Amino acid sequence: MAARKHATAEEMAMAQKEISVSEFFAKNRHLLGFDNPRKALLTTIKEAVDNSLDACEEAGILPEILVEIDQLEEDRFRVVVQDNGPGIVKAQIPNIFGKLLYGSKFHSRRQSRGQQGIGISAAGLYGQMTTGKGPRIESRVKRGKAHRYEIQMDFTKNKPLITQDEELDDWHQSHGTRFEVTLEASYQRGLRSVDDYIKQTAVSNPHTSIRYKPPGEEEPRFYERAIRDVPDRAAEIKPHPYGVELGELMKMLRDTSSRWLSGFLQEEFCRIGPKVAKEIIATAKLGERSYPTRIARDEADRLYRAIQKTKISAPPTTCLSPIGEDRIREGLMKECDADFYSVSTRPPSVYRGNPFQIEVGIAWGKPGDDRLEVDDKGRIHKTKKKRGATDTEDLLGNADEPVRVLRFANRVPLLFQQSSCCFTKSVIQTSWKNYGMSQSRGAMPVGSAVIFIHMASVWVPFTSEAKEAIAPYPEILKEVRLALQEAGRKLGVHIRKGKRVTNEFQKRSYIEKYLPHVGIGLQEILGLDDEDREETVERLRESMETTRKI
Amino acid sequence: MAARKHATAEEMAMAQKEISVSEFFAKNRHLLGFDNPRKALLTTIKEAVDNSLDACEEAGILPEILVEIDQLEEDRFRVVVQDNGPGIVKAQIPNIFGKLLYGSKFHSRRQSRGQQGIGISAAGLYGQMTTGKGPRIESRVKRGKAHRYEIQMDFTKNKPLITQDEELDDWHQSHGTRFEVTLEASYQRGLRSVDDYIKQTAVSNPHTSIRYKPPGEEEPRFYERAIRDVPDRAAEIKPHPYGVELGELMKMLRDTSSRWLSGFLQEEFCRIGPKVAKEIIATAKLGERSYPTRIARDEADRLYRAIQKTKISAPPTTCLSPIGEDRIREGLMKECDADFYSVSTRPPSVYRGNPFQIEVGIAWGKPGDDRLEVDDKGRIHKTKKKRGATDTEDLLGNADEPVRVLRFANRVPLLFQQSSCCFTKSVIQTSWKNYGMSQSRGAMPVGSAVIFIHMASVWVPFTSEAKEAIAPYPEILKEVRLALQEAGRKLGVHIRKGKRVTNEFQKRSYIEKYLPHVGIGLQEILGLDDEDREETVERLRESMETTRKI
């Protein structure tokens, strides 16, 4: 092989150039959840549904979502996601769907499903890369006309190119948005499928009704809403002082319109009043009337360190919109037919200045088994279990399998990267034996149960752009563990009671079985006639049932 | 709580805005390997050293690297990384160090350590966010003056702001670059530390000399180069047709300067000559003289599918620069003092159109144990083991611990995310029992050994921007497994031979010990005198050693 030419600094300089964020993610698409055709289908639907639900809730509308998948060729599918949300203003459509890192949620400190401004345009880009076709969007705002756009992304510039722009005189809804994309994909059922995702979305969003048409089915499946009120719109909060780093603080000082340092602290942050501002400024050895824009790095550093030393109350939690215990219970009851439900909600907490709240629900039971019930008189009956109404496939597994953990972040189901998720680590670290479940060291507990875990936060620290798992911050790990323990204790009481009932039932079966033989024995020993024998057996049975009443 | 105001589509539109890539990564810095202060220190050094080594090799210079860490305060450190590379042209310095997604390696199809244009500017940004200070860069190109820049990044615009710009009349090197940054960090020794990284870098880059000064040490540690030639500069290749997707193909058709389709195929791709071009065009039912820029989506789709159906030879492998068996062996011998070294290099292979090559080395031995050696005459000697020369800490673990896997991508050590890495999966999937090592099902093999695995590729599919683990593409998994099996077989021969030697040695000890007693027994039975007894024992010993010769 010929020796290869070496480069000079000047030649190397000529090769330097900007990389557009869409080129970057097109080449690294597995970072966004488009690793393979199966996952691409799920990610596309997930991003579109996230946006639809966020929009409906922001506008105070009870969401009605349609998800439709059609198979066009062996490896090509068309996906439609439609909502009854407020619609999107015409001028914003191309950027929202055709530009990565564009959106309203990144800069706001408010709980929402989307947070990065990448997802939906990445889905469009994936469609374009694999089939050459960009996404089609139809949208109508209240008292406006509907518009249809078709978009191609110029991925070397991260800019949308409009290939079709049409006003629609007639549209089938008074407001809402319809997103359509053709992509290389594959459809499968089972765990981590689109079916699974839709079902879990119904559990964590009981106020939402979803129609879902998988490929090859004629009629959509219908997931009806369980409750009729829209969750409160989460409030937006200012940054909490503890969550702001020195570099950001310096930028805030440069950019502020406040003229005095004291005013700057009170206006730009939450939880700083005049007294706290005074204390911070004194600790930093600065003047309350200093001009914020003139504060140099060293002074900013003192201010930063003074903030860390000052006791400041936790951020307000109006920015959070938890699901709530009743709704979690209803969601679980609707989708898993269990014997027992235990729900627990933690008070809000904070990591790196970001408020968050953990909610946990456990559904416990043995689907397919007969149920033992005790009536008012202490009699035990066997009853056949009812099956889940909505779907044939129950979320509950078998008694000898690891429990299933349903993970949610701001109501969005997380289906991948389970083992690297903070939630999974918390489940494994909890001692489930204390609550009557079996568990090997360092492993998931075993049993016919579903554990539901939800984190509501203004900023969820995902381990990747694909938003599949939550980073194990110590504060989050701890809150999840406490919530699991609370729910676990309630479950423990139930399991132990259930074990008593089962034991009792077994004892009574023995009595039923052996009492006649005891009777025959007595008859022989005491010389009873048949009638006396029957009566003795009956009295014996009554006496035993009475003394053993539960 | 008061009911919260809902938003209209118009209000929501006003909140929509662009997110800069540096804002995005500042908020999601764990994606880039800045999860915590300890990892931030390592990532900063790793990114700077990667760039230094790439620059030296591109320019054909034997790298001399200096890495210096100084502790300024409890949680603040200053890092200096300096090289003797070609230097950086003045005008490029601000963008290279102060703009994310800027560089020369993303668009080139050539093996290099850096590939994304994010790392070094992210390190500067992290320093700025945590300490308020941006990076300082000094650089000098051959026959030029040295320059010093200090930079702050405007992270809402992803643009560098120059805060100091100085020409240096005198600089201590005739060419090279010095990068300095102050950051919040923590320094620890041990596994996955900076020390560990430097040591592994020396193993995978035996042509590099590194001086490394950890905090608190007066004199730098010196890792001297083992070989004196620079690796060949990898050639740049055109894309392989199998690795190009429809969306990219359409863009290439639009952008090409070729006037005819046949010319387009031959000029823009590797491995397409006139014959293959003709075949592709015929399969696609297009004309050889079609204008590429006028090809519509449906025709492009036909072209795309025709490419997939045509047999095209694998891409050239001149773009790869593997380490080589001898260098791997030398690197391993330099840093681990083992009994046996087994190295294996696979021929180049391809995934998604990207050429790659896998190299494996195994160092095997029991440090601290005495060594058994067999001389020419078949006599066994015990010798004391020499300890590693360079460092007190040997890479080899104990015999009852899992083997240590050293993972490298384009010569860069990968220290984190071991369990999600394709290499680790391959090691676990290999049956090490066949080669004389112990291994439980689904676990790492156990033994005093180091397994070195290197992937050289024009594009390494990392699982995150932090470049910590390699995605498990089936083609890569397979090549790693084959390389491990080859190296394993050689090791197996050695281990079995070692076991024979040990057994033999034990048998001989028995003979040494019991032969005198046998002599006394014979003396009594046969009535020998002392001299006859001694002679008999001696003849017995000789006879046994001869028949048992190895």
Q: Are A337 and A396 in contact (CB under 8 A)?
A: yes
Comparing alpha-carbon positions, the chain B residue that sits nearest to A6 is B59
- CA–CA distance from B185 to each of A474, B123, B374, B465 (Å)? 18, 12, 51, 20
Q: How far is CA B251 from CA A121, A151, B239, in A?
A: 18, 15, 13
Let me know if residue B458 belongs to a domain: yes
Cα–Cα distance for residue pair A63/A4, rounded to 1 Å = 62
CB contact under 8 A, B12 and A95: no
How many helical (H) and strand (E) elements, i.e. helices and strands, does chain A have? 14, 20
Per-residue pLDDT, A547: 57
| Smallest Cα distance from A62 to chain B, Å | 12
Position B410 pLDDT exceeds 80:
yes
Asked whether residue B11 is assigned to any structural domain, the reply reads: no
Give B230→chain A minimum CA distance, Å. 11
Higher per-residue confidence, A309 vs A420: A309
Mean pLDDT of all residues in A68-92: 96
Asked whether residue B187 carries a pLDDT value surpassing 90, the answer given is: yes
- Confidence category of residue B391, pLDDT binned at 50, 70, 90: very low
Tell the burial category of A513 from Cβ atoms under 10 Å away from its Cβ (0-12, 13-18, 19+). Answer: exposed
> How many residue pairs from chains A and B have C-beta atoms closer than 8 A?
217
- CB contact under 8 Å between B106 and A175, yes or no, is no
Pair A464, A414: CB distance under 8 Å = no
Which of B284, B309, B334 terminates a domain? The answer is B309
Range of the domain at A504: 498-547
Chain centroid to Cα A147, Å, comes to 32
Inter-chain residue contact A59 with B9, CB threshold 8 Å: yes
Residue B510's alpha-carbon distances to B55, B230, B374, B502, in angstroms, are 62, 54, 18, 13
**Chain B environment of A156 (Cβ under 8 Å):** 251
Predicted local confidence at residue A2, as pLDDT: 41
- A246 and A150 in a common domain: no
For tokens 């409009």, name the residue: A162
Chain B residues inside the 8 Å CB shell of A4? 232-235, 318
**Interchain proximity B130–A245, CB inside 8 Å:** yes
How far is C-alpha B427 from the geometric centre of its chain's CA atoms? 16
Quick one: closest CA in A to B463, which residue? A31
Q: Is-contact A21 B117, C-beta < 8 A?
A: no
Chain B residue numbers with beta carbons less than 8 Å from the beta carbon of A30 are 461, 463, 471
CATH code for the domain in which residue A290 is found:
1.10.8.50
A300 and A433 share a domain?
no
Q: Does the pLDDT value for residue A506 go beyond 80?
A: no
pLDDT for B371 equals 52
Residue B259 clears pLDDT 50, i.e. is over it = yes
- CB–CB contact A12 B129 (8 Å): no
Chain A residues whose beta carbon lies within 8 Å of the beta carbon of residue B86: 7-9, 12
Look at residue B485 in the predicted model and tell me its pLDDT.
97
CA atoms within 13 A on the CB side of B25: 27
A352/A475 same-domain check: yes
The answer to whether residues B370 and B445 belong to one domain is yes
Residues of A in contact with B23 (CB under 8 A): 106
Quote the pLDDT of residue A339: 86
Partners of residue A464 in chain B, C-beta under 8 Å = 31, 463-464
A206 and A67 in a common domain: yes
Chain B residue with minimum CA distance to A88: B9
Nearest to B132 among A27, A104, A250 (CB): A250
- DSSP-derived pairing of the beta strands B445-446 and B438-439: antiparallel
For CA atoms B52, B54, B55, B56, the dihedral sign is positive
Q: Count Cβ atoms below 10 Å from residue A398 Cβ, excluding itself.
A: 11
The C-alpha of B469 sits at a distance from chain A's nearest C-alpha, in angstroms, of 12
Residues in chain B with CB shorter than 8 Å from the CB of A117 are 19
Residues 6+ apart with CB under 8 A from A2: none
Residue-wise pLDDT for B131-144, tens only, equals 999 999 999 999 99
Rounded distance between C-alpha atoms, residue B523 and residue B517, angstroms: 10
pLDDT at B6: 86
pLDDT tens for each residue of A371-412: 555 566 656 565 554 444 344 356 777 778 889 999 999 999
For residue A400, what pLDDT is reported?
Answer: 82
In angstroms, the separation between the Cα of residue B203 and the nearest Cα of chain A is 24
Q: Are residues B50 and B88 in the same domain?
A: yes
Q: Does A297 contact B116 at a Cβ distance shorter than 8 Å?
A: no
Give residue B334's pLDDT band: very low, low, confident or very high (50, 70, 90). confident
Quick one: which of A235, A118, A192, A86 has its CA closest to A406?
Answer: A192
Residues A341 and A302 reside in one and the same domain: no
Residue carrying the six token digits 């006496």: A543
Q: In this structure, are A27 and A64 located in the same domain?
A: yes
Provide the terminal-to-terminal Cα distance of chain A, rounded to the nearest Å.
88
DSSP code for A100: S
Distance from CA of B195 to the nearest CA of A (A): 26
Asked whether residue B490 falls in the same domain as residue B502, the answer is: no
Contact B104 A9 (CB under 8 A): no
Quickly tell me which residue has 């890092």 as its tokens: B79
How high is the pLDDT of residue A389?
38
Q: Has residue B288 got a pLDDT over 80?
A: yes
pLDDT given at position A371: 52
pLDDT level of residue A3 (50, 70, 90 thresholds): very low
pLDDT at B546 over 50: yes
Q: Which of B5, B28, B352 to mutate to probe the A interface, most A CBs <10 Å?
A: B28
The chain B residue lying nearest A15, using CA atoms, is B104
CA distance A311 to chain B (A): 21
Number of domains in chain A: 4
Tokens representing A187? 């459809």
Q: Which among B16, B58, B102 has CB closest to A19?
A: B102
Q: In sequence order, what are the beta bridge partners of A407?
A: A414, A453
Q: Are A82 and A66 in contact (CB under 8 A)?
A: yes
Higher pLDDT pick, B550 / A109: A109
Identity of the residue in B17, B116, B128 whose CB atom sits nearest the CB atom of A107? B17
Q: Return d(Cα A160, Cα B223) in angstroms, integer.
A: 51
pLDDT at B341: 93
3-state SS record for A203-238: HHCCCCEEEEECCCCCCCEEECCCCCCCCCCCCCCC
CA-based nearest distance A400→chain B, Å: 21
Distance separating alpha carbons of residues A312 and B216, to the nearest angstrom: 36
Whole-number mean pLDDT of chain B?
88
CA distance B131 to chain A (A): 6
Residue B236 in domain: no
A319 within a domain of the structure (yes/no): no
Q: Are B9 and A459 within 8 A, CB to CB?
A: no
Q: Which two tokens stand for residue A479?
A: 């809150």
Q: A266, A283, A309: which is the final residue of a domain?
A: A309
Provide the pairing of β-strand B412-414 with B404-409: antiparallel
What is the crossing angle of helices B274-283 and B261-268, to 10°?
A: 120
The answer to whether B491 and B435 have CB atoms below 8 angstroms apart is: yes
**Cβ separation B99–A18 shorter than 8 A:** yes
Confidence of residue A549 (pLDDT cuts 50, 70, 90): very low
Per-residue model confidence (pLDDT) at position A382: 58
Query: Does residue A290 lie in a domain region?
Result: yes
Mean pLDDT along residues A100-114: 88
A335 vs A114 pLDDT, higher one? A114
In a domain, B279, yes or no: yes
Subunit contact A232:B3, Cβ cutoff 8 A: yes
Angle of helix A297-309 relative to helix A246-255, nearest 10 degrees, comes to 120
One domain for residues B88 and B138: yes
Query: For position A375, what pLDDT does the model report?
Result: 60
Q: Distance, in angstroms, between A449 CA and closest chain B CA? A: 27
Helix (H) or strand (E) holding B82: strand B76-83
Query: Distance (Å, rounded) from C-alpha B437 to C-alpha B402?
Result: 10
Beta bridge partners of A70: A78
pLDDT tens digits, one per residue of A264-287: 999 999 999 999 999 999 999 999
Return the CATH number at A133. 3.30.565.10
Mutate to test the interface with B, among A8, A95, A244 (most CBs of B within 10 A): A8
In a domain, A230, yes or no: no
pLDDT score at B390: 40
Q: Which residues in chain A touch residue B177, judged by CB atoms under 8 angstroms apart?
A: none
Chain A contacts of B136, Cβ < 8 Å? none
Q: Report the 10 Å Cβ neighbour count for B147.
A: 20
Question: Which among A530, A546, A537, A542 is positioned nearest to A516, based on CA atoms?
Answer: A537
Cross-chain residue pair A233–B4, CB shorter than 8 Å = yes
Looking at residue B15, its pLDDT comes to 87
More confident of the two residues B370 and B224 = B224
pLDDT of residue B498 exceeding 90, the answer is no
Please tell me whether residues B81 and B199 are part of one structural domain: yes
**Model pLDDT, residue A378:** 56
Check: CB of residue B255 under 8 Å from CB of residue B246: no
pLDDT tens per residue, range B11-57: 888 888 899 999 999 888 888 999 889 999 999 999 999 999 999 99
Q: Which of B16, B103, B125 lies nearest to residue A19, judging by beta carbons?
A: B103
Select from A439, A482, A240 the least CA-distant residue to A354.
A240
CB contact under 8 A, B235 and A31: no
Give the confidence band of A505 by pLDDT, cuts at 50, 70, 90. low
> In terms of domains, do A487 and A505 share one?
no
**Residues A89, A55 contacting (CB under 8 angstroms):** no
Nearest to A92 among B13, B116, B141 (CB): B13
The C-alpha atoms of residue B250 and residue B248 are separated, in whole angstroms, by 5
- What is A75-118 written as a DSSP string? TEEEEEEEE-S----GGGHHHHHH-SSEESSSSS-S--S--SS-
Q: Minimum mean pLDDT among A42-56, A207-221, B271-285, B393-407: which range?
A: B393-407
Cα nearest neighbour of A101 on chain B: B19
d(CA A543, CA A549): 10
Q: Which of A2-6, A414-418, B95-99 has the lowest mean pLDDT?
A: A2-6
Contact B59 A459 (CB under 8 A): no
Please report which confidence band the pLDDT of residue B377 belongs to, taking 50, 70 and 90 as the band edges.
low
Do the Cβ atoms of A132 and B464 come within 8 Å? no
Please judge whether B141 and A23 are an interchain contact, meaning their C-beta atoms are less than 8 angstroms apart.
no
Check A297 against B59: CB less than 8 A apart. no
Select the residue from A6, A88, A249, A351 to test the B interface by mutation, using most B Cβ atoms within 10 A: A6
Interface test with chain A among B89, B95, B152, B420, by most A beta carbons within 10 Å: B89
Name the amino acid, one letter, at A175: H
What are the tens digits of pLDDT across the range B444-489? 999 889 999 999 999 999 988 899 999 888 889 999 999 999 999 9
What pLDDT is attached to residue B503? 67
The CATH number given to whatever domain includes residue B342 is 3.30.230.10
Q: What is the pLDDT of residues B423-442, one digit of tens each?
A: 999 999 999 999 988 898 88
Contact flag A251-B155 (C-beta cutoff 8 Å): yes
Q: Which three-class secondary structure state does DSSP give residue B147?
A: strand
CB B266 within 8 A of CB B277: yes
Over residues A484-488, mean pLDDT: 96
A90 domain-assigned: yes
Q: How many helices (H) and strands (E) does chain B have?
A: 14, 20
- Give the residue from B176, B192, B221 where a domain finishes: B221
B78 phi, psi to nearest 5 deg: -110, 130
